[in-house]
Structure 1
Amino acid sequence: MTDLHTFVTAPSLPVAGLLVGEPADADAVGYLLPRWSTVGRSVRGTKMRTVPAVFDEFAAAFQFPYYFGENKDAFDECMRDLDEFVGAADGYLVVVRDAPALLSAEPDELSWFVDAMAFYADHWRGIGPAGGAAGQVPRPFRVVLQATAQESGELTARWSRAGGTLTPVTSPGA
């Protein structure tokens, strides 16, 4: 199991972490982020059962600009420009509460979400086809998925089938 601080701040770990606990445990992560100079937002898996709902929840949480086009290309653009509208930070974190509900009405779209999160991680590290802006300082981009102990096995299996890896992370109080 990886220490939460190490997971959030180390630039070379996998993009997605699994926090086994209750939604309140996921919310507690946000209280630690200012100490780590990390900007984070919590989104609700129960409000993101479809791709359009993912766009709505992320747009609200990150306060996407008025021109957000509510499609995958526009989503990519906004996630690569986080520093322009949520502020520069040493890293960025998305916490998904009740993650087993994420894209549950469109399960085939989970592979898009997994790939997109990896793409943003590469962008913010300044590597891969995602690149990064010239002179960009590499910084971590992470996603922490919260699930109860009863849900965590199925979530891990779904994430794996979608092409991703979940790194177990410690609870904020551990």
Structure 2
Amino acid sequence: MVSGKSSTTSLVKAPPGFALRLVQGKKCGTPSNLFDEFAQALAFPDYFGHNWDALEECLADFEWLPAKGYILLITDAHAVLPDDEDEYETLLEVLSDAGEAWSKGQTADGRRAPFHAVFVVAEQDKSKRKRWELEEVSFEEQKTSRTRPARKRSSKPSRK
């Protein structure tokens, strides 16, 4: 629980050599706003396409942000895409895929590095979201389908 007296950034201290970036959840109410906030917080290159595929690509290629590891601190997480659970789940999948790519060395530069997304939410705001994590897939479902079902992601820019 975060009290009003403590700042969110004071809760996390990045290890030496790690990049800690703050993403303001209150600025991520729509996909378009979320893409803008991630681009600003992570200093994405000008070619960032403002869509889910481009977000996933940039999260797995931090050549402009060299570090031993990466921590994204997402504040006011209850305010991230609050009106669209499908888009929120897509965000979780993109972050999960980026973490997997970094852990397996499947990033643009082929190196392995820790990648963490930390969602910060006040105790009184936890109930504002039905689910906070990806839906689990049962072992039986995994046996019958070797790959995760593809999410429909718009490759078009989400600018309005």
TM range (shorter): 0.7 to 0.9
Residue correspondences, number: 135
Structure 1 residue 58 displacement after superposition: 0.4
User: What is the deviation of 1:22?
Assistant: 4.1
Residue in structure 2 matched with residue 48 of structure 1 by the alignment: 28
Name the CA shift for 1:133/1:74 in 2 (closer, same or farther; >3 Å): closer
1:144 alignment counterpart: 118
RMSD: 2.2
Identity percentage of aligned residues: 30
Ranges in structure 1 where 5+ consecutive residues have no aligned partner: 1-19, 165-174
Deviation for aligned residue 1:37: 2.1
Q: Measure the CA separation in 1 of the matches of 2:44 and 2:91.
A: 18
Given that residues 45 and 100 in structure 1 are in contact (C-alpha distance below 8 angstroms), is that contact kept between their aligned partners in structure 2?
yes
- The reply to whether residue 27 of structure 1 matches residue 9 of structure 2 is yes
Residue 156 (structure 2) aligns with = none
Unaligned runs of 5+ in 2: 137-160
For residues 53 and 134 of structure 1, what CA distance do their matches in structure 2 show?
28
Q: How big is the shift at 1:45?
A: 0.9
**Structure with more strand by fraction:** 1
SS at match of 1:85: coil
Matching of residue 122 in structure 1 with residue 97 in structure 2: no
TM-score by length of 1: 0.69
Offset from partner CA, 1:59-116 (integer Å, 9 cap, x none): 001111011111112111111111x1112x2211111111101101323211101111
Higher relative contact order (CA 8 A, sep 6+): 1
Q: Which residue number in structure 1 is paired with residue 85 of structure 2?
A: 107
Relative to structure 1, the CA distance from residue 67 to residue 146 in structure 2 (aligned partners, 3 Å threshold; closer, same or farther) is: same
- Counterpart in the other structure of 1:158: 131
Q: Greater helix share, 1 or 2? A: 1
User: Using a 3 Å threshold, how does the CA distance of structure 1 residues 38 and 52 change in structure 2: closer, same or farther?
Assistant: same
